[in-house]
Amino acid sequence: MEKQTVPYEKIVFVCTNERASDGPPCCAGRGAVNIHASLKARVKALGLGKVLRVSKSGCQNRCTLGPNIMVFPDNVWYSGVTEEDLDTIVGEITKDVVTE
Ligand code: FES
């Protein structure tokens, strides 16, 4: 086993869990896969990819409120996220990120 310090200032988890179309609601069924891709692309375009990690996650247990995004260490949980919210979210999660 190796143990290292995480190189990211923040980690953003976008739930992309997918269920059968006739099953309970899921974030993937509400556009979370595209939201994850858009968020990742925006962070990369800002040159923050090495300090701000955008990752897919499994179910965050808020399925009826999705798409859901958790941000650490901010301890912020965004729900009902749409593409139109991404400017606001990117502004909030990057405002205190230090790049050097
Ligand atoms: S499927 Fe996303 S929170 Fe459950």
Looking up residue 83, the CATH number of its domain turns out to be 3.40.30.10
| 13 CA from centroid of ligand 1 (Å) | 11
Provide the residue range defining the domain that includes 27.
10-94
Residue 75 lies in a domain: yes
Residue 5 lies in a domain: no
- End-to-end CA distance of the chain, in Å? 29
- Ligand 1 atom 1: residue of nearest CA: 26
- pLDDT for 98 equals 83
Task: Compute the mean pLDDT over every residue in the chain, rounded to the nearest whole number.
Answer: 96
Residue 46 lies in a domain: yes
- pLDDT for 62 equals 97
Q: For 45-95, how does the pLDDT look when each residue is reduced to its tens digit (9 = 90+)?
A: 999 999 999 999 999 999 999 999 999 999 999 999 999 999 999 999 999
Number of domains in the chain: 1
User: In this structure, what token pair is assigned to residue 54?
Assistant: 């955008």
**Does ligand 1 come within 6 angstroms of the Cβ of 62?**
yes
pLDDT bin (cut points 50, 70, 90) of residue 21 is confident
Residue 70 lies in a domain: yes
Residue 3 lies in a domain: no
